Structure 1
Amino acid sequence: MIRLGVRVRREDADVVLAELLALAPSGVEETDLEDGKVIEYAVYGAPGELPDLPDVEAAVGGALVEVVTTEVADDWADRWRAFHQPIEIAGRLYVRPPWEPARTDLMDLVIDPGQAFGTGAHHTTRLCLELLAQEDVPSPAGVMDLGCGSGVLAIAAAKLGWGPVAGVDHELESVRATADNAVANGVDVSVERFDLIRGGPAPTAPLVLANLLRPLLLCVARAGFQDGAAPELLIASGLLAREADEIADAFARHGLRETDRRQSAEWAALVLRRTV
Protein backbone atom coordinates (compact mmCIF):
# COMPACT_ATOMS: atom_id res chain seq x y z
CA MET A 1 0.00 0.00 0.00
CA ILE A 2 1.27 3.47 -0.96
CA ARG A 3 0.56 6.75 0.83
CA LEU A 4 0.75 9.85 -1.35
CA GLY A 5 1.04 13.06 0.65
CA VAL A 6 0.62 16.60 -0.70
CA ARG A 7 1.99 19.30 1.60
CA VAL A 8 0.87 22.86 1.01
CA ARG A 9 0.85 26.20 2.80
CA ARG A 10 -2.35 26.71 4.79
CA GLU A 11 -3.37 29.72 2.71
CA ASP A 12 -3.35 27.56 -0.44
CA ALA A 13 -4.95 24.50 1.15
CA ASP A 14 -8.48 25.02 -0.18
CA VAL A 15 -7.27 25.11 -3.80
CA VAL A 16 -5.27 21.91 -3.38
CA LEU A 17 -8.12 20.15 -1.56
CA ALA A 18 -10.55 20.99 -4.38
CA GLU A 19 -8.16 19.56 -6.97
CA LEU A 20 -7.42 16.45 -4.94
CA LEU A 21 -11.10 15.67 -4.39
CA ALA A 22 -11.64 15.91 -8.13
CA LEU A 23 -8.85 13.37 -8.64
CA ALA A 24 -9.58 11.20 -5.62
CA PRO A 25 -13.30 11.55 -4.71
CA SER A 26 -13.06 8.70 -2.19
CA GLY A 27 -11.59 11.24 0.20
CA VAL A 28 -8.34 12.45 1.69
CA GLU A 29 -6.64 12.38 5.06
CA GLU A 30 -5.79 15.80 6.52
CA THR A 31 -2.90 16.50 8.93
CA ASP A 32 -1.55 19.77 10.34
CA LEU A 33 2.25 20.21 10.13
CA GLU A 34 4.64 22.89 11.37
CA ASP A 35 2.21 24.17 14.01
CA GLY A 36 -0.57 24.43 11.46
CA LYS A 37 1.37 26.48 8.91
CA VAL A 38 1.42 23.56 6.48
CA ILE A 39 -1.41 21.14 5.66
CA GLU A 40 -0.76 17.65 4.36
CA TYR A 41 -3.45 15.88 2.39
CA ALA A 42 -2.90 12.17 1.82
CA VAL A 43 -4.52 9.47 -0.28
CA TYR A 44 -3.89 5.73 -0.09
CA GLY A 45 -3.84 3.08 -2.77
CA ALA A 46 -2.04 0.17 -4.31
CA PRO A 47 0.84 0.95 -6.69
CA GLY A 48 -0.59 2.18 -9.99
CA GLU A 49 -3.97 3.12 -8.48
CA LEU A 50 -3.10 6.56 -7.13
CA PRO A 51 -4.01 9.70 -9.12
CA ASP A 52 -1.53 11.71 -11.15
CA LEU A 53 -0.83 15.12 -9.63
CA PRO A 54 0.21 17.52 -12.44
CA ASP A 55 -3.20 19.23 -12.28
CA VAL A 56 -2.74 19.93 -8.58
CA GLU A 57 0.70 21.46 -9.12
CA ALA A 58 -0.58 23.64 -11.94
CA ALA A 59 -3.63 24.77 -9.99
CA VAL A 60 -1.60 26.44 -7.26
CA GLY A 61 0.93 28.06 -9.57
CA GLY A 62 4.04 26.86 -7.81
CA ALA A 63 2.61 27.15 -4.30
CA LEU A 64 2.79 23.39 -3.77
CA VAL A 65 5.24 22.70 -0.97
CA GLU A 66 6.00 19.03 -1.44
CA VAL A 67 4.67 15.71 -2.74
CA VAL A 68 5.73 12.77 -0.60
CA THR A 69 5.22 9.13 -1.55
CA THR A 70 5.80 6.50 1.14
CA GLU A 71 5.20 2.79 1.42
CA VAL A 72 2.77 2.01 4.22
CA ALA A 73 3.55 -0.80 6.67
CA ASP A 74 1.53 -3.99 6.78
CA ASP A 75 -0.48 -2.64 9.73
CA TRP A 76 -1.79 0.29 7.66
CA ALA A 77 -5.40 -0.89 8.02
CA ASP A 78 -5.21 -0.72 11.80
CA ARG A 79 -3.57 2.70 11.67
CA TRP A 80 -6.18 3.92 9.17
CA ARG A 81 -8.91 2.79 11.52
CA ALA A 82 -7.25 4.64 14.40
CA PHE A 83 -7.40 7.82 12.32
CA HIS A 84 -11.22 7.65 12.09
CA GLN A 85 -12.53 8.27 15.58
CA PRO A 86 -16.22 8.64 16.54
CA ILE A 87 -17.46 12.15 17.28
CA GLU A 88 -20.30 13.59 19.34
CA ILE A 89 -22.37 16.39 17.82
CA ALA A 90 -24.28 18.89 19.97
CA GLY A 91 -25.12 16.29 22.59
CA ARG A 92 -27.51 14.66 20.12
CA LEU A 93 -25.67 12.70 17.43
CA TYR A 94 -22.90 10.12 17.64
CA VAL A 95 -21.14 9.67 14.31
CA ARG A 96 -18.97 6.57 14.21
CA PRO A 97 -17.26 4.18 11.80
CA PRO A 98 -18.74 0.66 11.62
CA TRP A 99 -16.10 -0.91 13.89
CA GLU A 100 -16.85 1.39 16.85
CA PRO A 101 -19.71 0.46 19.22
CA ALA A 102 -22.86 2.54 19.39
CA ARG A 103 -23.80 4.72 22.34
CA THR A 104 -27.26 4.31 23.79
CA ASP A 105 -27.55 7.91 25.00
CA LEU A 106 -27.22 9.54 21.56
CA MET A 107 -28.65 9.09 18.06
CA ASP A 108 -26.40 6.59 16.34
CA LEU A 109 -25.05 7.42 12.88
CA VAL A 110 -22.74 4.89 11.21
CA ILE A 111 -20.60 6.05 8.29
CA ASP A 112 -18.13 3.89 6.41
CA PRO A 113 -15.09 6.17 5.89
CA GLY A 114 -13.73 3.97 3.14
CA GLN A 115 -16.46 4.84 0.63
CA ALA A 116 -16.59 8.59 0.03
CA PHE A 117 -15.50 11.95 1.36
CA GLY A 118 -17.21 13.17 4.51
CA THR A 119 -17.22 11.08 7.68
CA GLY A 120 -18.11 13.88 10.08
CA ALA A 121 -14.61 14.41 11.42
CA HIS A 122 -13.60 17.28 9.15
CA HIS A 123 -14.24 20.79 10.49
CA THR A 124 -16.67 21.67 7.70
CA THR A 125 -18.81 18.57 8.18
CA ARG A 126 -18.86 19.00 11.94
CA LEU A 127 -19.95 22.61 11.59
CA CYS A 128 -22.83 21.60 9.31
CA LEU A 129 -23.90 18.86 11.70
CA GLU A 130 -23.80 21.21 14.68
CA LEU A 131 -25.90 23.83 12.91
CA LEU A 132 -28.34 21.18 11.66
CA ALA A 133 -28.72 19.69 15.13
CA GLN A 134 -29.74 23.04 16.62
CA GLU A 135 -32.62 23.56 14.18
CA ASP A 136 -36.20 22.73 15.04
CA VAL A 137 -37.86 20.51 12.43
CA PRO A 138 -40.55 22.55 10.64
CA SER A 139 -43.38 21.48 8.36
CA PRO A 140 -42.70 20.93 5.51
CA ALA A 141 -39.32 19.49 6.35
CA GLY A 142 -37.83 18.31 3.06
CA VAL A 143 -34.04 18.28 2.72
CA MET A 144 -31.67 18.46 -0.25
CA ASP A 145 -27.99 17.66 0.37
CA LEU A 146 -25.90 19.20 -2.42
CA GLY A 147 -22.68 17.27 -2.87
CA CYS A 148 -23.72 14.51 -0.50
CA GLY A 149 -20.39 12.62 -0.42
CA SER A 150 -20.80 9.79 2.06
CA GLY A 151 -24.32 10.93 2.93
CA VAL A 152 -23.50 11.91 6.49
CA LEU A 153 -25.47 15.19 6.41
CA ALA A 154 -28.51 13.72 4.67
CA ILE A 155 -28.58 10.73 7.02
CA ALA A 156 -28.19 12.98 10.06
CA ALA A 157 -31.13 15.08 8.85
CA ALA A 158 -33.27 11.96 8.50
CA LYS A 159 -32.26 10.77 11.97
CA LEU A 160 -33.22 14.16 13.41
CA GLY A 161 -36.71 13.90 11.94
CA TRP A 162 -36.46 15.81 8.66
CA GLY A 163 -38.05 14.35 5.56
CA PRO A 164 -38.28 13.56 2.78
CA VAL A 165 -34.49 13.65 2.42
CA ALA A 166 -32.63 13.67 -0.89
CA GLY A 167 -29.07 14.20 -2.03
CA VAL A 168 -27.09 14.73 -5.21
CA ASP A 169 -23.44 14.35 -6.12
CA HIS A 170 -21.42 14.46 -9.32
CA GLU A 171 -19.39 11.38 -8.34
CA LEU A 172 -21.03 8.02 -8.90
CA GLU A 173 -19.08 6.55 -5.97
CA SER A 174 -20.61 9.16 -3.66
CA VAL A 175 -24.11 8.37 -4.93
CA ARG A 176 -23.54 4.69 -4.15
CA ALA A 177 -21.95 5.44 -0.78
CA THR A 178 -24.86 7.64 0.30
CA ALA A 179 -27.38 4.99 -0.71
CA ASP A 180 -25.43 2.25 1.09
CA ASN A 181 -24.92 4.29 4.24
CA ALA A 182 -28.59 5.26 4.33
CA VAL A 183 -29.55 1.58 4.25
CA ALA A 184 -27.01 0.81 7.00
CA ASN A 185 -28.62 3.50 9.15
CA GLY A 186 -32.20 2.45 8.44
CA VAL A 187 -33.27 5.76 6.89
CA ASP A 188 -34.70 6.74 3.51
CA VAL A 189 -32.53 9.02 1.37
CA SER A 190 -33.24 9.49 -2.31
CA VAL A 191 -29.95 10.11 -4.12
CA GLU A 192 -28.97 10.73 -7.73
CA ARG A 193 -26.14 12.05 -9.84
CA PHE A 194 -26.10 15.78 -10.59
CA ASP A 195 -23.38 18.17 -11.80
CA LEU A 196 -23.54 21.40 -9.82
CA ILE A 197 -21.19 23.10 -12.29
CA ARG A 198 -22.89 22.21 -15.57
CA GLY A 199 -26.33 20.99 -14.52
CA GLY A 200 -28.01 24.39 -14.24
CA PRO A 201 -30.14 25.43 -11.26
CA ALA A 202 -29.61 23.23 -8.22
CA PRO A 203 -32.26 20.90 -6.80
CA THR A 204 -33.90 22.46 -3.79
CA ALA A 205 -36.07 21.77 -0.73
CA PRO A 206 -37.16 23.72 2.36
CA LEU A 207 -33.70 22.91 3.80
CA VAL A 208 -30.61 22.78 1.59
CA LEU A 209 -27.33 21.48 2.98
CA ALA A 210 -24.28 22.57 0.98
CA ASN A 211 -20.94 21.44 2.37
CA LEU A 212 -19.04 22.53 -0.74
CA LEU A 213 -15.85 24.39 -1.47
CA ARG A 214 -16.06 28.08 -2.42
CA PRO A 215 -16.05 27.58 -6.23
CA LEU A 216 -19.00 25.18 -6.08
CA LEU A 217 -20.93 27.37 -3.65
CA LEU A 218 -20.49 30.29 -6.05
CA CYS A 219 -21.67 28.08 -8.93
CA VAL A 220 -24.85 27.28 -7.01
CA ALA A 221 -25.38 30.95 -6.16
CA ARG A 222 -24.96 31.97 -9.81
CA ALA A 223 -27.18 29.22 -11.23
CA GLY A 224 -29.85 29.54 -8.56
CA PHE A 225 -32.38 26.90 -7.62
CA GLN A 226 -34.81 24.83 -9.66
CA ASP A 227 -38.22 26.42 -10.30
CA GLY A 228 -36.73 29.66 -8.98
CA ALA A 229 -37.54 28.56 -5.46
CA ALA A 230 -34.80 29.37 -2.97
CA PRO A 231 -34.84 27.21 0.17
CA GLU A 232 -36.32 28.45 3.40
CA LEU A 233 -33.02 27.56 5.07
CA LEU A 234 -29.54 27.01 3.63
CA ILE A 235 -26.66 25.67 5.71
CA ALA A 236 -23.46 26.29 3.77
CA SER A 237 -19.96 25.18 4.69
CA GLY A 238 -16.76 24.02 3.03
CA LEU A 239 -15.51 27.58 2.96
CA LEU A 240 -12.63 29.30 4.68
CA ALA A 241 -13.50 31.96 7.24
CA ARG A 242 -12.14 34.70 4.97
CA GLU A 243 -14.58 33.58 2.25
CA ALA A 244 -17.71 33.70 4.40
CA ASP A 245 -18.73 37.28 3.57
CA GLU A 246 -18.40 36.61 -0.17
CA ILE A 247 -20.58 33.50 0.05
CA ALA A 248 -23.21 35.24 2.18
CA ASP A 249 -23.37 38.11 -0.34
CA ALA A 250 -23.65 35.68 -3.25
CA PHE A 251 -26.75 34.03 -1.80
CA ALA A 252 -28.29 37.31 -0.65
CA ARG A 253 -29.50 37.87 -4.23
CA HIS A 254 -31.81 34.87 -3.69
CA GLY A 255 -33.37 36.48 -0.63
CA LEU A 256 -31.25 34.45 1.80
CA ARG A 257 -29.99 36.41 4.79
CA GLU A 258 -27.24 35.28 7.15
CA THR A 259 -28.57 34.58 10.65
CA ASP A 260 -25.71 32.55 12.12
CA ARG A 261 -22.03 31.92 11.48
CA ARG A 262 -19.79 29.36 13.10
CA GLN A 263 -16.05 28.82 12.77
CA SER A 264 -13.66 25.94 13.51
CA ALA A 265 -9.94 26.38 12.81
CA GLU A 266 -9.80 28.27 9.49
CA TRP A 267 -13.14 26.90 8.26
CA ALA A 268 -16.59 28.49 8.55
CA ALA A 269 -20.26 27.61 8.11
CA LEU A 270 -23.25 29.86 7.52
CA VAL A 271 -26.95 29.68 8.26
CA LEU A 272 -28.89 31.59 5.61
CA ARG A 273 -32.66 32.09 5.85
CA ARG A 274 -35.10 33.26 3.21
CA THR A 275 -36.52 36.66 3.97
CA VAL A 276 -38.65 37.32 0.87
Structure 2
Amino acid sequence: MKKILVTGCNGQLGRAIQQIYKDSVEFILTDVVQDEKITPLNIIDLDEVLNFIKERKPDVIINCAAATNVDGCEKDWDFAYKLNALGPRNLAIAATEIGAKLVHVSTDYVFPGNADKPINEFETPAPISAYGKTKLAGEKFVEQFADRYFIVRTAWLYGDGKNFVKTMLSLSETHKEVSVVCDQLGSPTSAMELARMIKYLEPTDNYGIFHGTCEGDTNWADFTEEIFRIKGVNSKVNHVTSEDYKKMNPASADRPHYSILDNYMLRLTTDYKMADWHDALNEYLGH
Protein backbone atom coordinates (compact mmCIF):
# COMPACT_ATOMS: atom_id res chain seq x y z
CA MET A 1 0.00 0.00 0.00
CA LYS A 2 1.23 3.49 -0.87
CA LYS A 3 2.65 5.40 2.11
CA ILE A 4 1.83 9.11 2.32
CA LEU A 5 3.43 11.43 4.86
CA VAL A 6 1.23 14.43 5.68
CA THR A 7 2.74 17.37 7.53
CA GLY A 8 0.35 19.75 9.26
CA CYS A 9 -2.20 16.92 9.36
CA ASN A 10 -4.39 18.75 11.92
CA GLY A 11 -4.94 21.73 9.63
CA GLN A 12 -7.86 22.24 7.27
CA LEU A 13 -6.15 20.71 4.24
CA GLY A 14 -4.43 17.98 6.24
CA ARG A 15 -7.81 16.81 7.53
CA ALA A 16 -9.34 16.97 4.06
CA ILE A 17 -6.46 14.91 2.63
CA GLN A 18 -7.15 12.20 5.20
CA GLN A 19 -10.86 12.20 4.33
CA ILE A 20 -10.33 12.06 0.56
CA TYR A 21 -7.76 9.25 0.66
CA LYS A 22 -9.48 7.43 3.56
CA ASP A 23 -8.40 3.77 3.63
CA SER A 24 -6.68 3.72 0.23
CA VAL A 25 -3.22 4.57 1.58
CA GLU A 26 -1.07 4.11 4.65
CA PHE A 27 -0.76 7.49 6.36
CA ILE A 28 2.20 8.82 8.30
CA LEU A 29 0.56 11.74 10.10
CA THR A 30 2.71 14.51 11.57
CA ASP A 31 2.03 17.82 13.26
CA VAL A 32 3.24 19.89 16.18
CA VAL A 33 0.69 18.23 18.50
CA GLN A 34 1.18 14.58 19.42
CA ASP A 35 -1.51 11.97 20.04
CA GLU A 36 -1.87 8.24 19.44
CA LYS A 37 -2.15 8.71 15.64
CA ILE A 38 0.06 11.76 15.12
CA THR A 39 3.84 11.94 15.38
CA PRO A 40 5.49 15.27 16.17
CA LEU A 41 7.85 16.40 13.41
CA ASN A 42 9.76 19.67 13.47
CA ILE A 43 10.13 20.36 9.74
CA ILE A 44 12.48 23.30 10.36
CA ASP A 45 15.13 20.91 11.73
CA LEU A 46 16.90 19.33 8.73
CA ASP A 47 18.52 16.48 10.66
CA GLU A 48 15.22 15.55 12.29
CA VAL A 49 13.43 15.61 8.92
CA LEU A 50 16.12 13.51 7.22
CA ASN A 51 16.17 10.90 9.99
CA PHE A 52 12.38 10.72 10.20
CA ILE A 53 11.82 10.36 6.46
CA LYS A 54 14.72 7.94 5.85
CA GLU A 55 13.39 5.71 8.63
CA ARG A 56 9.76 5.68 7.44
CA LYS A 57 10.35 5.89 3.68
CA PRO A 58 7.07 7.42 2.44
CA ASP A 59 6.25 7.23 -1.26
CA VAL A 60 4.71 10.71 -1.18
CA ILE A 61 5.10 13.73 1.11
CA ILE A 62 2.22 16.21 1.20
CA ASN A 63 3.29 19.39 2.95
CA CYS A 64 0.30 21.11 4.53
CA ALA A 65 2.35 22.75 7.29
CA ALA A 66 2.73 26.53 7.13
CA ALA A 67 2.67 29.75 9.09
CA THR A 68 -0.57 31.14 7.63
CA ASN A 69 -1.34 33.95 10.07
CA VAL A 70 -0.66 36.84 7.69
CA ASP A 71 -0.44 39.49 10.41
CA GLY A 72 1.62 37.17 12.61
CA CYS A 73 4.15 36.66 9.81
CA GLU A 74 4.70 40.43 9.68
CA LYS A 75 5.49 40.45 13.40
CA ASP A 76 7.78 37.40 13.39
CA TRP A 77 9.65 37.11 10.09
CA ASP A 78 12.12 34.53 11.42
CA PHE A 79 9.40 32.08 12.44
CA ALA A 80 7.54 32.59 9.15
CA TYR A 81 10.73 32.02 7.14
CA LYS A 82 11.67 28.90 9.09
CA LEU A 83 8.27 27.27 8.64
CA ASN A 84 7.33 28.55 5.16
CA ALA A 85 10.76 28.41 3.51
CA LEU A 86 13.21 26.22 5.42
CA GLY A 87 10.55 23.60 6.17
CA PRO A 88 9.78 22.96 2.49
CA ARG A 89 13.53 23.03 1.75
CA ASN A 90 14.14 20.30 4.31
CA LEU A 91 11.27 18.18 3.02
CA ALA A 92 12.51 18.60 -0.55
CA ILE A 93 16.02 17.50 0.39
CA ALA A 94 14.67 14.48 2.25
CA ALA A 95 12.24 13.57 -0.55
CA THR A 96 15.11 13.54 -3.05
CA GLU A 97 17.23 11.40 -0.72
CA ILE A 98 14.63 8.59 -0.71
CA GLY A 99 13.10 9.15 -4.17
CA ALA A 100 9.71 10.30 -2.86
CA LYS A 101 7.31 12.69 -4.56
CA LEU A 102 6.67 16.03 -2.83
CA VAL A 103 3.38 17.90 -2.96
CA HIS A 104 3.91 21.40 -1.58
CA VAL A 105 0.97 23.74 -1.00
CA SER A 106 1.54 27.43 -1.71
CA THR A 107 -0.59 30.54 -2.01
CA ASP A 108 -1.97 33.39 -4.11
CA TYR A 109 -0.01 35.72 -1.79
CA VAL A 110 3.12 35.14 -3.89
CA PHE A 111 1.54 37.67 -6.29
CA PRO A 112 1.18 41.41 -5.55
CA GLY A 113 -2.57 41.51 -6.14
CA ASN A 114 -2.58 44.22 -8.79
CA ALA A 115 -3.60 42.10 -11.80
CA ASP A 116 -6.66 42.80 -13.93
CA LYS A 117 -7.21 39.26 -15.23
CA PRO A 118 -6.88 35.74 -13.77
CA ILE A 119 -3.26 34.94 -12.92
CA ASN A 120 -1.74 31.84 -14.51
CA GLU A 121 1.25 29.83 -13.33
CA PHE A 122 3.70 31.71 -15.56
CA GLU A 123 3.09 35.21 -14.22
CA THR A 124 6.02 36.60 -12.24
CA PRO A 125 5.51 36.46 -8.46
CA ALA A 126 6.08 39.68 -6.51
CA PRO A 127 4.73 39.26 -2.97
CA ILE A 128 3.92 42.29 -0.82
CA SER A 129 3.73 40.64 2.62
CA ALA A 130 6.04 38.61 4.84
CA TYR A 131 3.67 35.66 4.42
CA GLY A 132 3.85 35.88 0.62
CA LYS A 133 7.62 36.42 0.58
CA THR A 134 8.34 33.44 2.81
CA LYS A 135 5.95 31.19 0.87
CA LEU A 136 7.67 32.17 -2.39
CA ALA A 137 11.03 31.33 -0.83
CA GLY A 138 9.60 27.91 0.01
CA GLU A 139 8.51 27.39 -3.59
CA LYS A 140 12.01 28.22 -4.83
CA PHE A 141 13.60 25.79 -2.41
CA VAL A 142 11.26 23.02 -3.59
CA GLU A 143 12.16 23.75 -7.22
CA GLN A 144 15.85 23.74 -6.30
CA PHE A 145 16.05 20.61 -4.15
CA ALA A 146 13.17 18.29 -5.10
CA ASP A 147 13.43 15.97 -8.10
CA ARG A 148 9.71 15.13 -8.40
CA TYR A 149 7.38 17.78 -7.10
CA PHE A 150 4.01 19.46 -7.44
CA ILE A 151 3.70 23.02 -6.15
CA VAL A 152 0.00 23.76 -5.77
CA ARG A 153 -1.02 27.38 -5.21
CA THR A 154 -4.44 27.91 -3.72
CA ALA A 155 -6.44 30.80 -2.26
CA TRP A 156 -9.22 31.67 0.17
CA LEU A 157 -9.13 28.18 1.65
CA TYR A 158 -11.75 26.96 4.12
CA GLY A 159 -12.42 23.56 5.64
CA ASP A 160 -12.52 21.65 8.91
CA GLY A 161 -10.97 24.12 11.32
CA LYS A 162 -10.80 27.86 11.92
CA ASN A 163 -11.72 29.70 8.73
CA PHE A 164 -13.53 32.69 7.24
CA VAL A 165 -16.85 30.87 6.78
CA LYS A 166 -17.02 29.82 10.42
CA THR A 167 -15.88 33.24 11.60
CA MET A 168 -18.66 35.01 9.70
CA LEU A 169 -21.30 32.57 10.93
CA SER A 170 -20.02 33.00 14.49
CA LEU A 171 -20.14 36.80 14.21
CA SER A 172 -23.70 36.64 12.88
CA GLU A 173 -24.81 35.01 16.13
CA THR A 174 -23.93 38.13 18.12
CA HIS A 175 -24.04 40.92 15.50
CA LYS A 176 -26.97 42.18 13.47
CA GLU A 177 -24.45 43.73 11.06
CA VAL A 178 -20.95 42.73 9.94
CA SER A 179 -18.51 44.86 7.95
CA VAL A 180 -16.62 42.96 5.25
CA VAL A 181 -14.12 44.08 2.60
CA CYS A 182 -15.66 44.34 -0.87
CA ASP A 183 -12.71 45.35 -3.07
CA GLN A 184 -10.56 42.20 -2.77
CA LEU A 185 -11.32 39.58 -5.42
CA GLY A 186 -10.65 35.86 -5.30
CA SER A 187 -12.01 32.35 -5.58
CA PRO A 188 -13.19 30.75 -2.33
CA THR A 189 -11.79 27.22 -2.30
CA SER A 190 -12.86 24.34 -0.10
CA ALA A 191 -10.14 22.16 1.39
CA MET A 192 -12.05 19.10 0.15
CA GLU A 193 -11.88 20.33 -3.44
CA LEU A 194 -8.16 21.03 -3.13
CA ALA A 195 -7.61 17.58 -1.59
CA ARG A 196 -9.45 15.99 -4.54
CA MET A 197 -7.19 17.86 -6.96
CA ILE A 198 -4.07 16.73 -5.09
CA LYS A 199 -5.29 13.12 -5.11
CA TYR A 200 -5.77 13.40 -8.88
CA LEU A 201 -2.32 14.90 -9.56
CA GLU A 202 -0.20 13.00 -7.07
CA PRO A 203 -0.07 9.59 -8.84
CA THR A 204 0.96 11.21 -12.14
CA ASP A 205 4.31 12.41 -13.45
CA ASN A 206 2.75 15.73 -14.44
CA TYR A 207 5.16 17.71 -12.26
CA GLY A 208 5.48 21.45 -11.83
CA ILE A 209 3.53 24.44 -10.55
CA PHE A 210 -0.27 24.29 -10.58
CA HIS A 211 -2.96 26.71 -9.49
CA GLY A 212 -5.75 25.00 -7.58
CA THR A 213 -8.79 27.11 -6.75
CA CYS A 214 -12.49 26.61 -7.20
CA GLU A 215 -13.93 28.00 -10.43
CA GLY A 216 -15.56 31.43 -10.45
CA ASP A 217 -14.75 34.45 -8.34
CA THR A 218 -16.26 36.90 -5.88
CA ASN A 219 -15.28 39.38 -3.16
CA TRP A 220 -15.27 38.85 0.61
CA ALA A 221 -18.50 40.77 1.21
CA ASP A 222 -20.46 38.94 -1.50
CA PHE A 223 -18.96 35.67 -0.28
CA THR A 224 -20.30 36.46 3.19
CA GLU A 225 -23.74 37.24 1.79
CA GLU A 226 -23.78 33.85 0.03
CA ILE A 227 -22.78 32.10 3.27
CA PHE A 228 -25.61 33.87 5.11
CA ARG A 229 -28.09 33.13 2.31
CA ILE A 230 -27.34 29.41 2.37
CA LYS A 231 -27.61 29.23 6.16
CA GLY A 232 -30.66 31.51 6.40
CA VAL A 233 -28.81 34.15 8.43
CA ASN A 234 -30.46 37.59 8.63
CA SER A 235 -27.41 39.65 9.63
CA LYS A 236 -26.66 42.54 7.29
CA VAL A 237 -23.33 42.66 5.43
CA ASN A 238 -21.83 46.14 5.19
CA HIS A 239 -19.49 46.45 2.20
CA VAL A 240 -16.31 48.35 3.15
CA THR A 241 -13.13 49.14 1.22
CA SER A 242 -9.72 47.79 2.18
CA GLU A 243 -8.75 51.34 3.12
CA ASP A 244 -11.69 51.62 5.50
CA TYR A 245 -10.90 48.22 6.99
CA LYS A 246 -7.27 49.25 7.49
CA LYS A 247 -8.44 52.30 9.44
CA MET A 248 -10.51 50.03 11.68
CA ASN A 249 -7.64 47.51 12.00
CA PRO A 250 -4.38 49.45 11.54
CA ALA A 251 -2.18 46.49 12.56
CA SER A 252 -3.40 44.29 9.71
CA ALA A 253 -0.95 43.43 6.91
CA ASP A 254 -1.61 44.37 3.31
CA ARG A 255 -3.70 41.83 1.41
CA PRO A 256 -3.71 41.30 -2.36
CA HIS A 257 -6.61 43.16 -4.00
CA TYR A 258 -6.77 40.65 -6.83
CA SER A 259 -6.28 36.95 -6.06
CA ILE A 260 -8.15 35.26 -8.89
CA LEU A 261 -5.89 32.42 -9.99
CA ASP A 262 -6.26 30.79 -13.40
CA ASN A 263 -5.98 26.98 -13.17
CA TYR A 264 -4.22 27.12 -16.53
CA MET A 265 -1.84 24.17 -16.13
CA LEU A 266 -4.64 21.96 -14.86
CA ARG A 267 -6.76 22.90 -17.86
CA LEU A 268 -3.87 22.61 -20.31
CA THR A 269 -2.42 19.27 -19.21
CA THR A 270 -5.41 17.37 -17.75
CA ASP A 271 -9.16 16.85 -18.09
CA TYR A 272 -9.63 17.66 -14.41
CA LYS A 273 -11.77 20.62 -13.39
CA MET A 274 -12.29 22.15 -9.98
CA ALA A 275 -15.86 22.65 -8.76
CA ASP A 276 -17.56 26.03 -8.93
CA TRP A 277 -17.11 27.88 -5.64
CA HIS A 278 -20.89 28.08 -5.08
CA ASP A 279 -21.22 24.28 -5.35
CA ALA A 280 -18.23 23.67 -3.08
CA LEU A 281 -19.62 26.06 -0.47
CA ASN A 282 -23.00 24.34 -0.56
CA GLU A 283 -21.29 20.98 -0.02
CA TYR A 284 -19.28 22.36 2.88
CA LEU A 285 -22.34 23.86 4.56
CA GLY A 286 -24.30 20.65 4.06
CA HIS A 287 -26.82 21.88 1.49
TM-score under structure 2 length normalisation: 0.32
Larger RCO: Structure 1 or Structure 2 (Cα < 8 Å, ≥ 6 residues apart)? Answer: 2
Higher strand fraction (1 or 2): 1
TM-score under structure 1 length normalisation: 0.34
